[in-house]
């Protein structure tokens, strides 16, 4: 191998995207390590293989290759979504180019799943913030007339004292119903205001293990009632994080409550912690009903819920709290198999 070839090979191996090249006979002549790992190929079986063999489990990539080889149609930065066997989604950005004056074809593949996740998460938080401002505005506008109506009802109750007993009893009963409904409306307005405000964080050095233990201790009576077995698999020596202990506890509690609601007939809820690339990871895995694939991307939406007992706020609030701490939440779910939430938070900066 001459020096120029050696340099070319080093450059291809150092790229942050996968590359595979096919010659005029539609056989693979090279693939870099990044693509081999991304596709899960056996390195020894790549060279000489046809696209039909290499991409048998990736029909969307095979279609793009055939368009380039047979119809001379190239693509540039095309985004594809691949469904993994474990139920997860893999976002790929694909480009093709000709090799040696259209005698061959090069396919470049980049995994942009992390970028897509971050874009989606930022969009969700921004949408929550906008909805929160709208909710606060509406709540303030509604609360003023509610207060005026409540005062008038109280005055009306005083005026009823002058009526005869039979008519008074009937009208007081109706008045009580109106006042009860007024109080219910006031509670709804209060909830709008409470959930629309972003609480200020009081950061200090916090043990995520301690937060999880306290939440599990808090929900243990309900777990027994629901026949849910709580299991702690917490890592010893877990690094501390910078966090608001109360807010983090609320976020974990909201995810736990969501898990309880998914296990109508009981089940297991496992909490595990570990470190991953300078981050502390909390895994909450349930054995509940799972989430349909088309709904996984919507579970963090404001007021979106599929449960009769849910409000659609719990997971939205949990995501907002974790995002405020500089972290993020990943979700994996399969119907009838359960759901796993992974909460990532940065380690405490010494």
Q: What is the DSSP annotation of 128-162? A: HHHHHHHHHHHHHHHHHHHHHHHHHHHHHHHHGGG
Domain locations along the chain: 3-111, 116-196, 204-346
Residues in the chain: 350
Is the model more confident about 8 or about 247? 247
Mean pLDDT over the full length of the chain: 81
pLDDT of residue 123: 74
Biggest alpha carbon–alpha carbon distance for the chain = 110
pLDDT digits (tens, 9 = 90+) for 12-32: 666 678 889 998 888 998 888
- Check if the beta carbon of residue 201 is closer than 8 Å to that of residue 248: no
The upper half-sphere exposure of residue 69, i.e. CA atoms within 13 Å in the direction of its Cβ, equals 21
Judge whether 3-111 and 204-346 match in fold.
Answer: no
pLDDT above 70 coverage of the chain, percent: 82
* 3 state SS of 241: strand
Q: Please state the rounded mean pLDDT for residues 285-292.
A: 87
Q: How far apart are CA 271 and CA 92, in angstroms?
A: 31
Give per-residue pLDDT as tens, 132-183: 677 667 776 777 777 778 787 777 877 777 776 777 777 777 888 887 777 7
Q: How many CA atoms lie within 13 A of 160 on its CB side?
A: 18
Q: What value does the CA radius of gyration of the chain take, rounded to a whole number of Å?
A: 29
- Name the range with the highest mean pLDDT among 157-166, 186-195, 197-206: 197-206
Query: What b-and-e string marks burial along 207-222, b requiring 16 or more CB atoms within 10 Å of the CB?
Result: bbbebbeebbeebeee
Residue 130, pLDDT above cutoff 90: no
CATH topology of domain 204-346: Heat Shock Protein 90 (3.30.565)
Q: Are 308 and 292 in contact (CB under 8 A)?
A: no
Report the sign of the C-alpha dihedral through residues 234, 237, 240, 244, in that order. Answer: positive
Using 50, 70 and 90 to split pLDDT, how confident is the model at 1? very low
Residue 11: per-residue pLDDT: 60
- Can you give the pTM of this predicted structure? 0.54
What's the rounded mean pLDDT across residues 194-217? 85
Task: Indicate the CATH number for domain 3-111.
Answer: 3.30.450.20
Q: Which residue has the tokens 């006042």?
A: 179
Q: What is the CATH number of domain 116-196?
A: 1.10.287
- Structure token digits, residue 29: 């002549």
pLDDT at 349 over 90: no
Cα 220 → chain centroid? 25
pLDDT digits (tens, 9 = 90+) for 308-340: 555 557 788 888 889 888 888 888 888 878 899
Interval 239-270: pLDDT, tens: 999 999 999 999 999 999 989 988 988 899 99
Pairing state between β 279-286 and 241-243: unpaired
Give me the sign of the Cα torsion angle 236, 240, 245, 249. Answer: negative
Cα–Cα distance for residue pair 28/44, rounded to 1 Å: 12
């Amino acid at each position: 191998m001459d020096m120029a070839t050696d340099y070319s090979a080093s450059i291809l191996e150092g790229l942050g995207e996968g590359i595979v090249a096919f010659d005029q006979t539609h056989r693979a002549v090279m693939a870099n390590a990044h693509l081999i790992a991304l596709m899960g190929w056996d390195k020894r079986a790549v060279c000489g293989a046809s696209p039909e063999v290499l991409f048998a489990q990736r029909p969307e990539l095979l279609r793009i290759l055939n368009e380039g080889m047979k119809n001379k149609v190239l693509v540039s930065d095309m985004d594809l979504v691949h469904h993994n066997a474990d139920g997860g989604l893999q976002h790929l950005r694909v480009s093709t180019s000709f090799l040696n004056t259209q005698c061959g074809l090069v396919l470049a593949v980049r995994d942009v799943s992390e970028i897509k996740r971050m874009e989606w998460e930022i969009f969700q938080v921004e949408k929550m913030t906008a909805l929160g401002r709208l909710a606060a505005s509406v709540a303030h506008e509604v609360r003023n007339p509610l207060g005026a109506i409540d005062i008038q009802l109280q005055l009306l109750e005083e005026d009823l004292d002058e009526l005869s007993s039979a008519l008074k009893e009937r009208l007081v009963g109706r008045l009580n119903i109106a006042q009860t409904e007024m109080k219910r409306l006031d509670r709804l307005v209060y909830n709008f205001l409470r959930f629309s405000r972003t609480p200020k964080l009081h950061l200090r050095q916090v043990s995520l293990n301690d937060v999880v233990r306290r939440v599990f201790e808090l929900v243990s009576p309900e777990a027994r009632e629901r026949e849910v077995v709580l299991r702690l698999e917490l890592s010893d020596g877990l690094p501390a994080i910078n966090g608001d202990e109360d807010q983090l506890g609320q976020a974990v509690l909201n995810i736990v409550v969501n898990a309880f609601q998914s296990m109508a007939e009981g089940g297991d809820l496992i909490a595990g912690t570990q470190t991953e690339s300078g981050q502390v990871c909390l895994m909450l895995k349930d054995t509940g009903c799972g989430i349909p694939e088309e709904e996984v991307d919507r579970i963090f939406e404001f007021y979106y819920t599929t449960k009769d007992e849910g409000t659609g706020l719990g997971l939205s609030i949990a995501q907002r709290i974790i995002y405020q701490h500089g972290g993020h939440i990943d979700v994996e779910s399969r119907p009838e198999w359960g759901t796993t939430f992974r909460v990532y938070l940065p380690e405490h900066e010494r």
